[in-house]
Structure 1
Amino acid sequence: MHQVDLLIIGAGAIGLACAARLASPTRSCLIIEAQALIGSHASSRNSEVIHAGLYYPPGSLKASLCLEGRERLYAWCARQHIAHRRLGKLLVAVDEEELPALQRLAENARACGVDDLQPLDAAQLRQREPALRGVAALHSPSTGIFDSHAYLQSLLAHAERQGAQLILHTRATHLEPYAGGWRVSGLSAGEPFQLRAGQVINAAGFAAPALAQATQGLTGVPRQHLCQGRYFSYSGRSPFSQLIYPLPAANTAGLGIHATLDLAGQLRFGPDVHYLNELDYQVDASLREPFAAAIARYYPGIDPARLQPAYSGVRPKLSGAGEPAADFVIQTPGDHGLPGLVNLFGIESPGLTASLAIAERVAAAL
């Protein structure tokens, strides 16, 4: 039976960041991925935003790991020559009634350690973004955009230079502890396989809870909810020079349908929040009207005809519809009592921004 020192299950941003952090010439490291490509789901279906860390409850994993991960990610992109820009974003109060919420957001950001937000009044806002409607805003200079696909490739290349190996079309279905580590079974290209691993990182994204349920001796697996976020592109020249975020509606799971730019300057709007019973990436053109209505609150000059269905992503949430947002869960041997196993659950936004910081946390746990 094949044996490795470290098995990483899942080749999304989190699994690859863990591989880049932990692979070494003295530790055999194997990465297995069920799909045909790395980062096939959430890691490649997102806004490609480097988040500043404004929204999350102070003291939460999301807050601390986003802040740490943001700086690690900017530094990684600079060292690895990954295209990125500290573009900045505006968080906009469209009317007077939203000013208290804007103030609460500023206070929350400060409590999380974000100390560079710049308040803007209506005149300053019009000067920066003439097409934008709003009575006040906060400017976040630490928010940026980057090439997430190049980032994933750079993580894999770094891990492979340290001796890690990647096998695609390979899904782990069962984990069983034994005295020297873990027995792992599953399917590779449709054929059964078994191997032994001294340590295992379950970074399987959507599949992480199911694999945890099939792990002998493990309890306390959280319930997962699939939540789709759909995007529309906007044809023609963008009216904005930076990212535009409305204030999140109270008691909602997302940040509102916001405006983001890619590195080529293409404008897109999204994501919305749509809970699913099963994985689905379809974007229905009939959503154009509700998208346009939401966008028109802060961009009254929108031309709905320029909105085109683009793509969608699906978040692996640990909170259901109408429930307060749940934190990341990094389940370590100290939590479940099983040596050499780390499970990662509910790594939604800002998981991409936080990926290198999450990898540090996993490395410390092992």
Structure 2
Amino acid sequence: MRFLILGSGICLCGVLLFSCGAEESPIQEGPTLISLEKPDYFPAEQPMPAANPLTEEGVRLGRMLFYEKKLSKDGTISCASCHQQEKGFSDGLRVSPGVGGAQGTMNAMSLANLHWQTRFFWNGRSVTLEEQAIIPIEDPMEMNLPIQEAISRLQNDSDYPKLFSAAFGTEEVTAERIGKALAQFERTLISANSKFDRWIRGEVELTPEEQLGLELFFTHPEPSIQLRGGNCGDCHLGFLTAGDPNGFSGFHNNGLDPDERLKSGLQSVTGNAFDRGKFKAPGLRNIALTAPYMHDGRFSSLEEVLDHYNDHIQNSETLDVLILEASNEPQNPNDPVKLHLSEQEKKAIIAFLNTLTDQEFVTNPKFSNPFK
């Protein structure tokens, strides 16, 4: 093999691009591969799906589809209607209205750092972002548009066939390609420049109250050795502050209701009675912006959330053992399940949670509405 230096480029003679002394072959153009812009302290082992690599053209198309109201039956809502950037890609409502004012039963989850998750929706019914992206389009309680109608609308649009061609090499619109494009855009929604992140990188110091909150957040209490903790990090793990991405281990019954009022949750996916009342532990990035909280949006403030875990845990057959055994005071089996945090400790945890707000993320023009 011979190498010819041409300006700043290299020609490989005798291969497909050029045959030395022969007529040039056309260069095949395709989507431009890109990498996720992520910090080195995020997990490195989660691969990009081989069938849906990240490309500039795919992300551009996915961003447009995310904000495209043509994907709802009456053209009034889009994915972004329930996932608003300034609210950490949530919507500030207990449950989100769909087409025609239809009311669902679940709170709109915030969107951030989705590449490191392997189960989606509160009950984990989707195993890929590509699959998750399509479901709300057809859901009668959400966008309520048959997928074939969505395909037809995009195919007959003056712009979308060209955008699909740039992203996938063909102007043909399919459900699979819609899901792939949306998933590519959603994978770029990386939140990694909060005060917490800057502290990790050694750029800022936390206040004493924030530092106490961080320590409490990541500590499981053990009263026998006077180790105090808030028990939060048992379910909201590591730098991502999100549920464990491996299988169903990131789903928990966190004591919201007694047995007779438990919703099915994960049980609707697994069929296992032991999974009744278990819901996904969401990532807590930008949590101060994403109220109300829990799968049904029952708590309007972080103070209410801390009060729940501290004083109002409802016991049930499937209550998570991580909560059942968590207390800052010695307990006997007949005691109510309580954390026994002080008011100062609760305020400190909330102060830490506020360090998870990433103003760059919620104002980044790369994630904003392309139609404005």
Q: Which TM class, normalised by the smaller chain length?
A: under 0.3
If you compute each CA radius of gyration, which structure gives the higher value, 1 or 2?
Answer: 2
* TM-score in terms of structure 1 length: 0.25
Q: Which is helix-richer, 1 or 2?
A: 2
Q: Which has the higher strand share?
A: 1
Which structure has the higher relative contact order (CA within 8 Å, separation 6+)?
1
